[in-house]
Amino acid sequence: MNQMDPEREKPPHQQSIIQPRQNILYGKNHHKWSTKPRDPRTHTAARDVLHIVPGPTGRAEELSQPKDLFYLFVKEEMIDFIVQYTNEK
């Protein structure tokens, strides 16, 4: 009697997919997640649709050079501090 392993019958990309037994899972922050894809024929409530234009905002909109964009996040004082303690013996 030759029994096939159910994992071997699946294509390789599906062998490591975990299939939950519940239809709903809850995150640590109590966010509710569905394990089933939603029906594409259903309507999404307007409150659930995000209207955010992608891309840079604020001062970053005016800048295009990588160095200038870098300095939006890393201040000169931070670089001085890093250099000081990197060179310390």
Stated pTM of the model: 0.40
For residues 72 and 58, is the Cβ–Cβ distance under 8 A? no
Q: Which two tokens stand for residue 59?
A: 């001062």
Beta-strand (E) ranges in 4-88? 24-26, 32-34
Structure tokens at 67: 């160095």
Confidence of residue 86 (pLDDT cuts 50, 70, 90): very high
**Range of lowest pLDDT (16-20, 23-27, 50-54):** 16-20
What does the pLDDT look like over 31-67, one tens digit per residue?
Answer: 999 888 888 888 888 888 888 888 888 899 999 999 9
Q: For the chain, how many helices (H) and strands (E)?
A: 3, 2
Is 72 a residue whose pLDDT tops 80?
A: yes
Domain borders along the chain are: 62-89
